[in-house]
A and B are shown apart, each in its own frame.
Chain A
Amino acid sequence: MSSGPITWMEAALRTNNLRIKEVKGWKTRGRPGPFTPRGAMFHHTASSRGGGNAPGLDVCVEGRPGINGPLCNILVARDGTVYLVAAGRANHAGKGGPWQGIPEDSGNAYLIGVEVENDGVGEPWSSELLQACDVVFATLLLGLRRKSDWVCGHKEWAPRRKIDPARIDMSRYRKRVSAEMRTLAGGVPPPSGDEYHTVERGDTLWSIGQRYRVSVDELKRLNGLVTDVIQIGERLKVRG
């Protein structure tokens, strides 16, 4: 099961045809404390709709007075561009829960934070933006080997004080994510020829297998592995 920095998300998201921008230092950015993600949380930034494409980015990276950044792992801009903010733990969930077995006030430890640019007071969710969000959540959950049940709205985590993502029916939204997961998992045939992956911190055979759409057993067979133990820097054949 995936744990630690989620550096694997970059290759996975690129595979799924999203526009990706990597904020400098994202792979090592994170707050202290445990981070073993089980799912992902959907937030909106409440930025003014006339304020630009990604006005929340600086705050998401650096934090704000009294609250240290990163404040999310991913920011999805109004045009659907996906900004990779942090691979480590982020200060995003706050007080709330329990939810799906995640203990009270422990969301930062178990949920990937996804902020999406929307003013939260009536700005329409464009089809382009929703599609990007669908792919982001589907990719994250496939990487975590989790069903669509594991997309949590911040308003579900803290229903008495949160409204984000505003105007989104989370039950219905999870069905969209489920559909996207099924499409991504069953869609594009893998390219032919040998392909390799260099193991990064946080990688597991599960996450690598998901990224390249190959089973753990096949990864072990391709690389002559007899256990699930892999080392940072190890070059693994993922196709061939």
Chain B
Amino acid sequence: MNEEQLDDIPDKEVSADAPSEEELELVGEEHESLEEDTSEERAVEADMSGGGVELQSPEATEFEDGESAVAR
């Protein structure tokens, strides 16, 4: 496989007084002991990213606010 070309995504600035992730007391990389998913659809996936799936602007999708379709 060829080496992937990466876009130059700009970094974001953060205010000096914004809390760090540690100060937010968030769970990091420490691994939990998670149970394996043994359900029937455990390995099913969309498989859209490789292309080959016909995608068209939706015409019939309904929304909770009563609108339909998507602004193009």
Contacts and interface: CB of A to CB of B under 8 A. Distances in A.
Interface of A: 21-24, 26, 31-34, 38, 43-48, 51-61, 64, 67-68, 71-72, 77, 90-95, 100-106, 108-110, 113, 115, 120-121, 124-125, 127, 130, 134, 141-142, 145-150, 154, 162-164, 166-169, 172-173, 175-176, 178-183, 185-187
Interface residues on B, range: 35 or more
B58 A54 contact: yes
B9 A172 contact: yes
Contact of A145 (B4, B27, B40, B52): B27
20 contacts: A21-B67, A23-B63, A32-B39, A33-B37, A34-B37, A38-B32, A52-B70, A56-B48, A57-B58, A58-B56, A71-B45, A91-B46, A92-B46, A93-B45, A163-B50, A166-B49, A179-B13, A179-B14, A182-B19, A186-B15
Interface string B17-28: 111110011111
A190 B33 CA distance: 36
B55 A94 contact: no
A68 B39 CA distance: 14
Complex A-B, nearest 9 residue pairs according to Cβ-Cβ distance, in ascending order: A94-B45, A101-B31, A33-B39, A71-B46, A164-B49, A52-B57, A106-B37, A179-B12, A22-B64
Contact of B49 (A124, A127, A162): A162
A23 B51 contact: no
Nearest to B27: A146
B29 to A, nearest CB: 5
Contacts of B24: 142, 181-182, 185
A175 B20 CA distance: 12
B17 to A, nearest CB: 7
Nearest to B64: A22
Given A147-B28, A186-B15, 7 more contacts: A34-B35, A57-B70, A91-B45, A100-B31, A101-B33, A182-B20, A185-B19
A67 B52 CA distance: 14
Given A48-B55, A95-B45, A173-B9, A21 B27 contact: no
B52 to A, nearest CB: 8
B42 A53 contact: no
Contacts of B50: 46, 162-163
A176 to B, nearest CB: 5
Contacts of B41: 31-33, 68, 91, 108
